[in-house]
């Protein structure tokens, strides 16, 4: 049951990251969102199994490192090997939003966009996991 919960959370986080980042486009709409999200949720659900398999000490640092590495691998595999789900392109992040000014930075290549998106997704997974353990 815990794995299905993580799968569902992975789909929601994947949807949040893809729909909120301008540098990522869905190639096939809802199909891409559900299929890519299910894959992301599955891969992120493997984090605890990987930590157990290698008999690593369960700590926040190990979980952070494992989650971010898995997220990077997943998005790089989507970019390089799987066509028809996501399209990455260079983008500028930040700017002014009314009275609020956020420093902007350029993601000049597709690889920079992939790294940003995977870090964004990994951080969201960690935040939700932390909030889930607090209950």
98-126 pLDDT tens trace: 788 788 888 889 999 999 999 999 889 88
pLDDT of residue 39: 92
- Those residues whose C-beta lies under 8 Å from the C-beta of residue 23, and which sit 6 or more positions away, are 88, 89, 90, 91, 93, 107, 113, 116, 117
pLDDT band at 131 (very low <50, low <70, confident <90, very high): confident
Strand ranges, E, within 9-113: 24-26, 86-88, 91-97, 100-107
Exposure string of 111-125, with b = 16+ CB inside 10 Å and e = fewer, is ebbbbbbbebbbbbb
DSSP annotation of 117 reads H
* pLDDT average, residue stretch 50-77: 87
Q: Where are the domains of the chain?
A: 2-134
Number of other CB atoms surrounding residue 22 within 10 Å = 12
pLDDT of residue 69: 92
What is the model's pTM?
A: 0.84
Cα–Cα distance between 113 and 93 in angstroms, integer? Answer: 10
* pLDDT average, residue stretch 12-30: 89
Let me know the angle formed at the C-alpha of 75 by 25 and 133, rounded to the nearest 5 degrees.
105
Which two structure tokens, joined as six digits, stand for 129?
Answer: 């996991």
Which two structure tokens, joined as six digits, stand for 75?
Answer: 């998005």
* pLDDT average, residue stretch 13-37: 89
């Amino acid at each position: 049951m815990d794995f299905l919960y993580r799968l569902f959370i992975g789909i929601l986080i994947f949807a949040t990251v893809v729909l909120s980042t301008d540098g990522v486009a869905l190639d096939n709409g809802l199909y891409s969102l559900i299929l890519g999200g299910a894959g992301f949720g599955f891969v992120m659900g493997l984090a605890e199994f990987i930590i157990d398999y290698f008999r690593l000490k369960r700590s926040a640092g190990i979980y952070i490192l494992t989650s971010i590495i898995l997220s990077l691998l997943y998005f790089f595999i989507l970019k390089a090997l799987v066509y028809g789900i996501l399209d990455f392109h260079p983008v500028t992040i930040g700017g002014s939003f009314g009275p609020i000014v956020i420093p902007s930075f350029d993601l000049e290549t597709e690889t920079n966009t992939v790294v940003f998106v995977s870090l964004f997704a990994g951080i969201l997974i960690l935040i939700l996991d932390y909030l889930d353990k607090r209950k």
